């Protein structure tokens, strides 16, 4: 479960009605490990209840983002992608060959960021670090020429 509390409590705490669409959308969000875009989210939600419209999905993710329960990412593909926002801050390694997203965290980088912001006369509101990577070529002891 990625949200801090259960869905009913989350809604109550945020003054939101616990509706069927919301329950399903939040359930899908809380169970996914990825960073789905709205179309993907809608597809998964519709697999549970085909009656839920994509407009509701858009409205729900905006709402959850406003309440600070969801993070919105825009990787370089343009579409907005979402992720439940409780499990501590992290950054992303993105495998450009497969599109896989790996989460990581570096206190040392965070510290350097603070330092840079301060030097420029700012304090950090948030940040985002994405490292686009490809697999390292596998090292072998013997000699084989091929790539």
Partner DNA sequence: TTATCTGCAAAAATTTTGCACTTGG
Partner DNA sequence: CCAAGTGCAAAATTTTTGCAGATAA
Element (H, E) at 92: strand 91-95
Alpha-carbon span 82 to 75, nearest angstrom: 11
Token look-up 């919105």 returns 72
| Three-class SS state of 98 | coil
Is 100 annotated as a binding-site member?
Answer: no
**Which residue's CB is nearer to a second copy, number 126 or number 147?**
126
127 binds a second copy (CB under 8 A): yes
Is 91 annotated as a binding-site member?
Answer: yes
**Which residue's CB is nearer to a second copy, number 1 or number 102?**
102
CB of 118 to a second copy, least distance (A): 7
Token look-up 């597809």 returns 43
| DSSP code at position 37 | B
The binding track of 95-114 with respect to a second copy, each residue x by CB under 8 A or -, is xx-----x-x-x-xx--xx-
Which parts of this chain interact with DNA (CB under 7 A)? 11-12, 15-22, 37-39, 51-56, 58-60, 62, 78-80
Largest CA distance in the chain: 66
Is 127 annotated as a binding-site member?
Answer: yes
Is 110 annotated as a binding-site member?
Answer: yes
48-52: Cβ within 8 A, 24+ apart: 48/24, 49/20, 49/21, 49/24, 52/20, 52/21, 52/24, 52/25
Q: Which of 33, 98, 126, 146 binds a second copy (CB under 8 A)?
A: 126
Question: Of DNA, a second copy, none, which one sits near residue 47, judging by CB under 5 to 8 A according to partner kind?
Answer: none
**Which residue's CB is nearer to a second copy, number 55 or number 136?**
136
Residue ranges for the binding site? Answer: 89, 91, 110, 127
């Amino acid at each position: 479960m990625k949200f801090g509390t259960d869905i009913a409590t989350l809604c109550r705490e945020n003054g939101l009605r616990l509706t069927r669409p919301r329950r399903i959308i939040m359930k899908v969000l809380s169970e996914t490990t990825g960073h789905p875009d709205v179309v993907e989210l809608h597809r998964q939600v519709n697999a549970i209840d085909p009656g839920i419209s994509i407009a509701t999905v858009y409205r729900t993710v905006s709402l959850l983002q406003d309440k600070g329960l969801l993070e919105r990412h825009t990787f370089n593909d343009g579409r907005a992608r979402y992720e439940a926002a409780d499990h501590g801050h992290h950054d992303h390694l993105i495998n450009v060959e497969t599109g896989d997203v790996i989460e990581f965290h570096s206190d040392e980088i965070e510290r350097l960021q603070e330092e840079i912001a301060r030097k420029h006369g700012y304090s950090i509101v948030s940040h985002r670090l994405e490292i686009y990577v490809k697999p390292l070529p596998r090292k072998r002891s013997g000699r084989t020429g091929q790539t």
